[in-house]
A = this chain, B = another copy of it.
Amino acid sequence: RYFHFCKLPGRVMGIRLLRFTSVVIIVLLLVAGALTALLPNIKDDKLPNLRREPKPQSQSALDSFTLIMQTYNRTDLLLKLLNHYQAIPNLHKVIVVWNNIGEKTPEEMWNSLGPHPVPVVFKVQSVNRMRNRLQNFPELETKAILMMDDDTLVSAHDLAFAFSVWQQFPEHIVGFVPRKHISTPSGVYSYGSFELQNPGFGNGDQYSMVLIGAAFFHTGYLEDFQRQPEAVYALIDETQNCDDIAMNFLVAKHTGKPSGVFVKPVDIRNLEKDTNSGYSGMWHRAEHLLQRSYCVNKLVNIYDGMPLKYSNIMISQFGFPNYANHKNKM
């Protein structure tokens, strides 16, 4: 908001006019004051969609999600997974991020075997980058994204429930794979999973990240990702790793809360071994975990602080898979 007054032929005008000018100025100051005082209420709204919806949306686009799956060197697995995921409830569209540079997509074959329940868009990439999947694709019409690694199968039940959970926590990453950072006396952070226990936690465990390789999150966060410091992109490209850690930093900074909500999966499988390419994922590299600790510390430097917060909440579906799963069998 800004106000511009052109020069008034000052001398000619009388004191009354000056009085009115001061009235206007005082009122304007009051406006500024009032608006400033109220700003926090606006900021309180943490849902990117409310202000940043890029496109008009059909009703179905509001109660549904877009599956984004990045694939490299596992086309046979990709097709197997597409056949599974295309039938899950509330799916609006599938975006396949094609990182097989210079290779033809299976689009022709896919279409020849149609009809399919939802459209599948192949996004051919020019460089094989981990962060290709984090573009704000123009084909995105839903507020919700389901991002899946191309070797991971999650049951339709788990996905339907997790989506209903995301609808209640739309500012969080709602997913099936929790991870954590650990502080060490040296001030250096370490990255780990549930095996890495921190005695300081007291009873039980905690997590500070939910990986985006099997998670729902808000489309708005893909926009936010385009506005990160160059150093973040450089780190991800240098390591071909850690894009998911960066997203957790981004969400934690945005909300000031734990970035993720962990939904306990009933049936999640890694199908890696089923691929004929024999290609095994990046996370088998010896340096994988060390890289991720390295990334956590780098990101703390880049963002000048540690935004990740701990949560110990684990959400399951009441009465599923067994009708008395609320009873503890100890």
Contacts and interface: CB of A to CB of B under 8 A. Distances in A.
A41 interface: yes
A290 interface: no
A165 interface: yes
A199 interface: no
Interface stretch (A9-17, A61-69, A214-222, A292-300): A9-17
A4 B4 contact: yes
Interface in A240-257: none
A157 B312 CA distance: 13
Contacts of A21: 20
Contacts of A8: 8
A328 interface: yes
A326 B38 contact: no
Interface string A28-67: 1011001100100110110000000000000000000000
Nearest to A10: B9
B206 A319 contact: yes
Contact of A314 (B3, B311, B315): B315
Contacts of A320: 203-205, 312
Interface stretch (A103-111, A139-147, A230-238, A261-269): A261-269
A7 to B, nearest CB: 6
B204 A318 contact: yes
This chain: copies in complex: 2
A188 interface: no
A164 interface: yes
B27 A17 contact: no
A3 B6 contact: no
A197 B20 CA distance: 69
A168 to B, nearest CB: 7
Contacts of A313: 165, 168, 315, 317-318
A325 B318 contact: no
A204 B319 contact: yes
A119 interface: no
B5 A2 contact: no
Nearest to A206: B318
Nearest to A1: B1
B3 A319 contact: no
Contacts of A35: 34, 38
A282 interface: no
Contact of A319 (B6, B194, B330): B194
Given A2-B2, A42-B41, A10 B10 contact: no
Contacts of A170: none
A118 interface: no
14 contacts: A4-B5, A10-B12, A13-B17, A20-B23, A27-B28, A35-B38, A197-B319, A197-B323, A203-B317, A204-B317, A205-B319, A205-B323, A312-B320, A314-B318
